[in-house]
Amino acid sequence: MPTNPFSRTRVASSVQIAGAFWTSQDLLRREPDELARYGVPLPSLLGSAPIRAGYVVFDEAGFEFCRHDNNEMEGVRAFLFLILDKQGEAQDIIAWAPQLNRLSAWLNRAWMLEQEAA
């Protein structure tokens, strides 16, 4: 099996993290309304790193993208948030699956949503 460049164990740079985020999926037409019902403010949907979505598998270390390890059958659709540092560099991706009540960091580098503002 070929090595995946976006595997959690291989990602090191901000460019690779941003690449993994931007190759995820746009929100489905119904999902902005779903996010609003969960209390997510509209500016979060329209920011410099808008909310995206993708299929993930949660595990004890966080989560892995289904497209990165070929687990499409096991994955759950989750909302994805790109976490930036104060310089605007990508540091991590957060996956939130409200239907499972799960929130996890991909690389465990992030300590909060919108940490660049802290």
Local structure of 13: helix, strand or coil: coil
Those residues with Cβ within 8 angstroms of residue 8's Cβ, 6 or more apart along the chain or in another chain: 61, 62, 64, 68, 106, 107
Q: 85 and 111 in contact (C-beta within 8 Å)?
A: no
What are the domain boundaries of the chain? 14-109
d(CA 31, CA 116): 25
Question: What pTM, to 2 d.p., does this model score?
Answer: 0.80
Q: What is the pLDDT of residue 43?
A: 76
Token output for 57: 């598998």
Local structure of 27: helix, strand or coil: coil
What single DSSP character describes residue 111?
A: -
Q: What is the pLDDT of residue 21?
A: 94
Q: What is the pLDDT of residue 116?
A: 46
Cα torsion angle, 1, 24, 72, 78, sign? positive
Q: What is the pLDDT of residue 45?
A: 72
pLDDT block averages, 10 residues each, the chain of length 118: 52 87 92 91 75 93 76 80 89 94 90 49
Q: What is the pLDDT of residues 48-80, one digit of tens each?
A: 678 999 999 999 989 998 865 554 567 899 999
High-pLDDT (> 70) share of the chain, %: 76
Task: State the residue for tokens 């300590």.
Answer: 111
Q: What is the pLDDT of residue 12?
A: 72
Q: What is the pLDDT of residue 70?
A: 54
